[in-house]
Amino acid sequence: MVEYKSDENLSRLLKAVSDTTRRSLLTQLCQQGVSRVTDLAGYYDMSLNAISKHIKVLEKAELVTRKTIGRTHWIEANLEQVELAESWFKELKSIWELRLNKLDELMKNGDA
């Protein structure tokens, strides 16, 4: 099972990607590479402040990193944390596969 610290990180990650705008921002960063916050904000019909708040949620989940050069904030995707979600989904999948295999075995034996 997942450790407590990993569980906290997974929860933070899933919360971060539960929002459409944040998923879109992350996709944008993956497609275009490192981008300025102001450039990212140009793709959305919302304030720069609202975009910054979304980026902070992504930062907290460690899905993006920020580098400040002068007054310019550069944002870059960091998908290392995605492995947490992948591992969790793989664990769920293996549990379901075991259950389905057991059900299939029961049905073949006529015990169902």
Sheet holding 64-69, edge to edge: 35-36, 72-77, 64-69
- Write the pLDDT tens digit of every residue in 70-104: 999 999 999 888 787 787 778 777 667 666 767 76
Interval 12-17 mean pLDDT: 92
Nearest Cα residue to 51 out of 82, 29, 32? 29
| pTM given for the model | 0.73
5-19 per-residue burial string, b: 16 or more CB within 10 A, e: under 16: eeeebbebbeebbee
CA atoms within 13 A on the CB side of 24: 11
Domains (range + CATH), the chain = 4-79 (1.10.10.10)
* Distance, CA of 49 to chain centre: 22
pLDDT of residue 97: 65
